[in-house]
C-alpha cells in the first residue's frame, strides 16, 4: 500500500508539507535529546544564550557569561543542544508560514483571509515583543494566541472543512507560535514540569497536525464497498478512542520525564524489587507545583516518582491491549488490503515502541534509546492520525477519487 497519491491528484503545498513533517521529526528529536541530556537550562536566558546569538565559545566569552550568571556556569555540552533546538524550531516556523501562504494563494473557496492573517501577524509581533521587552508582554502574547485559537475553532465549526485546507495551516502556525512561548517559559520558569510537559505535547500536536495536513494535501481516500464502509464507519468511536489513549500515554511519558521519574523503577517486571511498591500518587500527580524553584533533576520524593513511573507502565499495558484489540477488530470487520496493511503498520510501530520502553530499563536509560522512544511515540501517534483520517474520509467505490475532506 502506497501512502502517497499520484502527483496529478495532489493539492498545492504537498511536497512542502512532507518536508515540514520531516523537519518536525528533527525538531522533536533535538527537543528530546536536549531534555534527556539535562540541557534544558543549558542557556539560562531566552532567546539568546548568555547574551550570544549562538553560545559562548572562547575563554573570554565564557568568563563574562559565568560572571553574569554565577548560578548557571557555562557547560559546553549543554549550550549547543539548547541553541540548535531553538534554531531548528524557528526554521520549522518558517515552513509553516510558507504553508499558510500557499493556503491563502491557492484557496478555492471564500475564506476569512484578512481576519486570520491579521490575528497570526499579531501573534508573531507579540512573541517578538515578548523576546525584546520581557515578561511584561507575556499576558498579551498569551491572549493573542488564545483569541486566534478560539477564532479558528469557531470558523472550523461554522464553515466546516474546505476543499483546499486553509484553517488547518493557520492552526499549525498558531501552534508553532504557542510552542515558541512554551519554549521561552521552559527556560524562564526553570523547567517547571507543567510547562515542560505542555511543551512536549505541543510538539507532538504540531507534528500530528502537519501530518494531517500532508494527508489532506495528498488527496487520497479509501474507496470501499457498501458493506465494508458500513463496518468501518461503525468503528469510528473506537478509532478515535485509540488516538485519545495514545495521546494520554504520551502525556504520561512527558510527565515522567519532566519529573525525572524514568529511573524510579530500574528493574523489570517489578519496580524496586516489588510488584506494588510504596507510591505517593497525590504528590506524583500534583499539578500545582509552584513557580520559582529550579526543577532541573526534579524535586519530588522517590515514592512520588515511583507512582508516576508505575502509572506510565500500566498505561503502556492498557494502550497496547487497546490497540491490539482495535486492529484485530479492523481485521475481522473489513477485509480490504489497505485497511489490513495500515493495521499491521500500527502493530509494528507499537511493538517497536514497547521494545524501546523495555530497552530503556534493561540498558539503564541510555540517551539514544530514550530519544528513539520519544520519536517512535510520535510515529505511533501519527499512525493513529492516519487511521482516523482514512476512516472518516472513506467513501463508496463509485465516489469521486479526488474528493478531499
Instruction: Classify burial at 97, counting beta carbons within 10 Å of its beta carbon; exposed 0-12, middle 13-18, buried 19 or more.
Output: middle
Cα gap 247→262, rounded to integer Å: 18
Closest among 247, 246, 267, 258 to 310, alpha carbons compared? 267
- Annotated active-site positions, please? 82
Cα gap 321→350, rounded to integer Å: 10
Which residues are CB-neighbours of 289 under 8 A, at least 6 positions away? 192, 193, 194, 295, 299
Cα gap 262→369, rounded to integer Å: 12
For 149-185, give the DSSP string.
HHHHHHHHHHH---SS-SHHHHHHHHHHHHHHHHHHH
Neighbours of 334 (CB within 10 A): 24
Contact 301, 260 (CB under 8 A): no
Contact 253, 377 (CB under 8 A): yes
Contact 164, 12 (CB under 8 A): yes
- DSSP letter for 221, please: -
Amino acid at each position: 500500500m502506497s501512502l502517497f497519491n499520484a502527483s496529478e491528484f495532489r493539492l498545492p503545498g504537498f511536497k512542502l508539507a512532507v518536508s515540514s513533517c520531516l523537519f518536525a521529526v528533527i525538531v522533536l528529536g533535538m527537543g528530546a535529546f536536549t531534555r534527556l541530556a539535562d540541557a534544558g537550562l543549558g542557556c539560562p536566558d531566552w532567546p539568546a544564550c548568555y547574551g550570544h546569538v549562538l553560545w559562548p565559545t572562547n575563554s573570554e566569552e565564557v568568563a563574562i557569561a559565568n560572571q553574569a550568571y554565577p548560578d548557571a556556569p557555562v557547560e559546553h555540552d549543554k549550550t549547543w543542544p539548547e541553541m540548535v533546538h531553538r534554531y531548528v524550531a524557528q526554521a520549522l516556523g518558517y515552513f509553516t508560514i510558507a504553508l499558510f501562504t500557499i493556503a491563502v494563494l491557492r484557496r478555492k473557496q471564500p475564506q476569512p483571509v484578512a481576519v486570520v492573517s491579521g490575528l497570526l501577524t499579531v501573534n508573531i509581533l507579540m512573541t517578538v515583543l515578548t523576546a525584546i521587552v520581557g515578561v511584561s508582554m507575556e499576558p498579551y502574547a498569551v491572549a493573542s494566541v488564545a483569541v486566534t485559537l478560539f477564532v479558528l475553532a469557531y470558523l472550523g465549526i461554522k464553515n466546516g472543512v474546505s476543499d483546499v485546507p486553509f484553517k488547518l495551516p493557520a492552526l499549525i502556525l498558531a501552534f508553532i507560535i504557542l510552542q515558541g512561548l512554551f519554549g521561552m517559559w521552559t527556560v524562564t520558569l526553570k523547567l517547571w514540569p507543567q510547562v515542560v510537559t505542555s511543551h512536549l505535547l505541543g510538539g507532538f500536536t504540531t507534528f500530528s497536525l502537519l501530518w494531517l495536513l500532508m494527508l489532506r494535501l495528498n488527496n487520497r481516500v479509501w474507496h470501499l464497498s457498501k458493506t465494508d464502509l458500513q463496518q468501518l464507519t461503525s468503528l469510528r468511536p473506537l478509532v478515535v478512542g485509540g488516538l485519545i489513549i495514545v495521546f494520554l500515554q504520551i502525556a504520561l511519558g512527558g510527565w515522567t520525564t519532566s519529573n525525572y521519574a524514568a529511573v524510579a523503577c530500574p528493574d523489570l517486571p517489578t519496580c524496586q524489587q516489588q510488584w506494588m511498591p510504596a507510591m505517593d500518587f497525590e504528590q506524583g500527580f500534583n499539578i500545582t507545583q509552584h513557580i520559582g524553584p529550579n526543577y532541573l533533576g526534579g524535586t519530588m520524593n522517590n515514592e512520588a516518582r515511583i507512582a508516576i513511573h508505575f502509572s506510565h507502565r500500566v498505561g503502556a499495558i492498557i494502550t497496547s491491549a487497546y490497540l491490539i484489540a482495535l486492529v484485530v477488530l479492523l481485521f475481522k470487520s473489513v477485509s480490504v488490503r489497505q485497511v489490513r496493511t495500515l493495521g499491521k503498520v500500527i502493530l509494528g510501530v507499537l511493538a517497536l515502541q514497547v521494545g524501546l520502553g523495555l530497552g530503556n530499563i534493561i540498558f539503564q536509560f541510555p540517551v539514544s534509546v530514550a530519544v528513539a522512544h520519544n520519536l517512535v511515540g510520535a510515529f505511533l501517534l501519527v499512525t493513529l492520525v492516519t487511521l482516523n483520517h482514512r476512516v472518516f474520509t472513506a467513501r463508496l467505490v463509485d465516489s469521486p477519487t479526488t474528493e478531499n475532506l
